[in-house]
Chains A and B, each alone.
Chain A
């Protein structure tokens, strides 16, 4: 299957700082990428849909000014957690689908810890 690479896999940051997470599709062009958040022992919660060259679509209850998404190219989407707080600590996962390929491929996830 297709490969989606997510970086970093782990990050620890101080409260009030911003953290950027990258999601890359390595062997295909992804017009759409999705960002999820996962709490311990829970399923994935969709945060936003990222479309190349346009603004992201955020799910209800997700603060767009808090979680900035940029999808500037067909192989890269970034999620920036701004002014991070301890409650933002979580596991963040991205997925990508190429046009016409309806199968979703996921990155390895990023464990964010805000101290």
Chain B
């Protein structure tokens, strides 16, 4: 049974700092991995999608890496801003069209 873990559960950093969020999964046989952002009381916004054959994806100040063999993914946020404050969730999909298994999320707070 796939399990997804995110560390840390919460993180507070000053504005401008570069930071890394971690995601680990127990079953390396994944189809893809997706990072999401969730603001309080809102739905999920897709940030980055990494297929199992890929090593990383980049979008603006965000970079996500995937090491399938070790069951790990990281989300790197460069030059953090207060507007980045949110909960970040990673989720893995085992098969095409299959369900997503979510981690517990990392609650990020970027202080001005």
Residue A111 interfacial (CB < 8 Å): yes
Contact assessment for A44 and B41 in the assembled complex, using a CB-CB cutoff below 8 Å? no
Q: Main SS of chain A's interface residues?
A: strand
A49 to B98 CA separation, bound complex (whole angstroms): 9
Asked if A108 meets B43 with Cβ closer than 8 Å, knowing A43-B104, A44-B89, the reply is yes
Residue A46 interfacial (CB < 8 Å): yes
* Chain B: number of interface residues, binned into ranges: 20 to 34
Asked if A109 meets B99 with Cβ closer than 8 Å, knowing A42-B104, A43-B105, A104-B46, the reply is no
Residue A78 interfacial (CB < 8 Å): no
State which residues 17-76 of B face A: CB under 8 Å: 31-32, 34, 36, 41-46, 49, 51
Interface size on A, residues (CB 8 A): 23
Contact with B along A82-101 (1 / 0, CB 8 A): 00000000010101010100
A43 to B104 CA separation, bound complex (whole angstroms): 5
Contact with B along A23-42 (1 / 0, CB 8 A): 00000000010100000001
Residues on the A chain within 8 Å of B44, using CB:
44, 93, 95, 106
Contact assessment for A34 and B99 in the assembled complex, using a CB-CB cutoff below 8 Å? yes
In the complex formed, the residue of A with least CB distance to B93 is: A102
Residues on the B chain within 8 Å of A32, using CB:
97
Contact assessment for B99 and A49 in the assembled complex, using a CB-CB cutoff below 8 Å? yes
Contact assessment for A106 and B97 in the assembled complex, using a CB-CB cutoff below 8 Å? no
Residues on the A chain within 8 Å of B34, using CB:
103-104
A96 to B89 CA separation, bound complex (whole angstroms): 17
Residues on the A chain within 8 Å of B46, using CB:
1, 103-106
A43 to B9 CA separation, bound complex (whole angstroms): 11
CB distance from B89 to the nearest CB of A (A): 7
Chain B residues in contact with chain A, CB under 8 A? Answer: 31-32, 34, 36, 41-46, 49, 51, 89, 91, 93, 96-97, 99-105
Contact sample, A vs B, 29 pairs, CB 8 Å cutoff: A1-B46, A6-B43, A32-B97, A34-B100, A43-B89, A43-B103, A43-B104, A44-B102, A46-B99, A46-B100, A91-B41, A93-B43, A95-B44, A97-B97, A99-B97, A102-B31, A102-B32, A102-B49, A102-B97, A103-B34, A103-B49, A104-B34, A104-B91, A104-B100, A106-B43, A106-B46, A109-B41, A109-B42, A111-B41
